[in-house]
Structure formats: structure tokens, C-alpha cells
Structure 1
């Protein structure tokens, strides 16, 4: 299927994945969470995006924003996924604001780069305030490391990936 022929949801997010039928992976913990098979509170849930608290918070506010449909990790993405990544960022910021985080300049938004992913379902880490992250969290979510990439860096990488292909 050509990129132009990729089926999309109403919001323009490609329906592609590494999971069965591009929808749901019954072994994936995040798929179970977004399908309400596990008693995790969803802070946001719509056709394309879901958000919930990280079980091992690295900051006072630590949320995970995931595609509702199973999509693998950062390496499985293409330029067509840029709108999805941007929407994940927007959702993360909205959830922070709903939880009274007003300083959006003191946040960290990013993805662990494979093989440093704990769950093989694309997930954006949303941490705030970044200035209150402890030593271990500063290491795990370290900027300019080979194991963590910011959302902006991923968008740039996906855009360049298409141009060099």
C-alpha cells in the first residue's frame, strides 16, 4: 500500500501498526489499558489517543500518551505519523494544564529509543515539572542521550527520513 493510500482515521492519523490487524495486540499492556481491560484511569481517551499516569512516575506529573491503536515503537514510524506525534504532544500538554501545570516551559516530552523501551507500544512520556525530576529520572529521561528522544527531535527525524529516502 502506498503512503498516499494508507487508511486514516477521521483526524488524519494513519492506521498502521506492528500489531495484529493494526488495531490491538492482546499481549500489550497499553492495548489492555486503552481497552479498559485493566483498571487504570484514563485521563484522556478518544478515537486516536489515550493518556494515563505512569506507574513509576519520574516527576510529580508523569503521564503516558499512547495511540489508541497498537503502533510499535519510534523506529516503526514514518513521515505519515508526524500528525499523530504532534497530536500526542498536544494531548500531553492539555492533560498537564487540566492538572494545574501552568509552566509548560518546565516540561519534558519524549520517547525512549529502542531497544530502551519497556513496552513495545508507542508512548510519549510527559513529565512536569522537569526541574523537580530526581537523579534517576534525569538519567532515564536525559536530553541528547542515545536512549531518549524528544518529541521535537522525533518529528524532525521523521521529516528528514522521508526526504532522504
Structure 2
């Protein structure tokens, strides 16, 4: 399931945590706490719109979670207004992969767990690479366009976004 690694120091400006929580912050949401630098999780990317960190239970050698910095519900709550956000999430995932020397994007899996199969209700894009090195359980758990894991394309197509 989606999780976070909380053992490494954060690489973002610690002044974020000293200010009051921003609009779009859910105090019960673990991902909101992570992007606000309250958990000690290493943020691989953090800006006003997008944050990225490693999944605590990696399904591939490189497994990242790309999340909106402000709380957005799960993928069922998306609408047309979220298309630019999701596109930026994908681009951020690609940038993180490139920084980690993953250049073969044909061997990468991007997707969302479809509710009720997501453990955190904060929107998060799974970025897994190389997909060819995923184990049996990860291939099942992150199987493309199954009942529980979908790519961006079917999500947008099915919701007329």
C-alpha cells in the first residue's frame, strides 16, 4: 500500500513547518503532514503545487509518490479543473526518474489506486520503474487498468475530463 519513508531528513526549507498550515491542509492526512515537513520524510521535490517522496513499501527499485501539495481527495474526486494538476504530477514523476538515471520511460508504470483500494485519500500518483523488475505481488498490485489500479488515460476518459 502507499506509505512513506520517515527515517531520512527532509531536503526542503524547514521554515515551511514553522508557519501555520496552509489552505488545503487536512490535519488528519499523513500526506498533508509530509508535504508540510512535519514527518521528517525526505522530499525529493517540493513546490507550491507538487511534492514527491519515496513509497515506504516500494513495488519496484524506484517507487515514488507524487502528490498535490494542497490536499486533494482521491482520483474519484477529480474533475476537468484537475487536468493541469495531474499533468504536472506526471511531469514531476518523469523529472524525478530522470534525476535517478531512469531514461527508458517505456519501462515505467504511472497510476492511481482506485477507491476503495487506496490507503490514503490524498491524491497520489505511483511512479514505478523499471516495471520489468517488479516482483509477482507488485505486478498484481500495480496491474495496469485493473479494478484497483488505473493509469491517467482511462481515468480521464471515463470521467470525461
8 Å CA contact 1:85–1:155 kept in 2: the answer is no
TM-score (norm 2): 0.84
**By how many angstroms is 1:155 displaced?**
2.7
8 Å CA contact 2:108–2:131 kept in 1: the answer is yes
8 Å CA contact 1:110–1:125 kept in 2: the answer is yes
**Can you give the 5+ residue segments of structure 2 that lack an aligned partner in the other structure?**
1-21
Structure 1 distance, partners of 2:106, 2:126, is 15
Q: CA RMSD in A?
A: 1.5
**By how many angstroms is 1:83 displaced?**
0.7
8 Å CA contact 2:27–2:33 kept in 1: the answer is yes
- Runs of 4 or more, structure 1, over 4 Å off, are none
Identify the residue that residue 81 of structure 1 maps to in structure 2. 82
**How many positions carry a matched residue from both structures?**
141
**By how many angstroms is 1:156 displaced?**
2.5
Identify the residue that residue 103 of structure 2 maps to in structure 1. 102
**By how many angstroms is 1:154 displaced?**
1.9
Identify the residue that residue 35 of structure 2 maps to in structure 1. 34
Identify the residue that residue 127 of structure 2 maps to in structure 1. 126
**By how many angstroms is 1:22 displaced?**
5.5
SS in 2 for 1:111: strand
SS in 1 for 2:48: coil
Q: Deviations over 1:100-157 (max 9, x none)?
A: 1011110000000000011010000000000000011001100121111102222323
- The reply on whether 1:66 has 2:67 as its aligned counterpart is yes
SS in 1 for 2:44: strand
Identify the residue that residue 144 of structure 1 maps to in structure 2. 145
